[in-house]
Amino acid sequence: MPIFVMLFKNIGRFFSFEIETLDLTGFHRRFRASNSTKNTLIHQFSAIMPLFLHPGWNTVVFDLNQLMDHCYKQRFQEVTRVRINANCRLRRVYFCDRVYSEEETPLEYKVQVKNCQA
């Protein structure tokens, strides 16, 4: 499934994650996102991207088909590894076949934000 979704809480520290994929030509490619990185770098087998986080809960959605095409002009085949480094509070990590709208997403796959009124 080409869509990677991660729900996590930013705890104000450096945080990164990495997705290793296999393309249709048989090469392994890595996509790394980090809030300590300021610039995007695309190398032959890895891409490093900045990750800008909001305070509190965040949702990251990566379309691996688009990333693979944009960075390497190759077709995505499968994910071989996901590495999530420390310094966050994970709620959910999952893959899906397409990006679902807010109404289509089940409650347990959403970030619950309490409505605080003073």
In 3D, which of 98, 99, 97, 101 has the Cα closest to residue 1? 97
pLDDT tens per residue across span 18-73: 999 999 999 999 999 999 999 999 999 999 999 999 998 999 999 999 999 999 99
In 3D, which of 50, 44, 47, 55 has the Cα closest to residue 20? 47
- Contact status, residue 19 vs residue 76, Cβ threshold 8 Å: no
pLDDT tens per residue across span 12-23: 899 999 999 999
Position 1 scores a pLDDT of 85
User: What predicted TM-score, i.e. pTM, was given to this entire model?
Assistant: 0.83
For residue 83, is pLDDT > 90?
yes
Dist. CA 80–CA 39, nearest whole Å = 25
Q: What are 100's two structure tokens?
A: 């679902």
Beta-bridge partners for 89: 9
Beta-bridge partners for 31: 19, 47
Say whether 118 sits in a helix, a strand or coil. coil
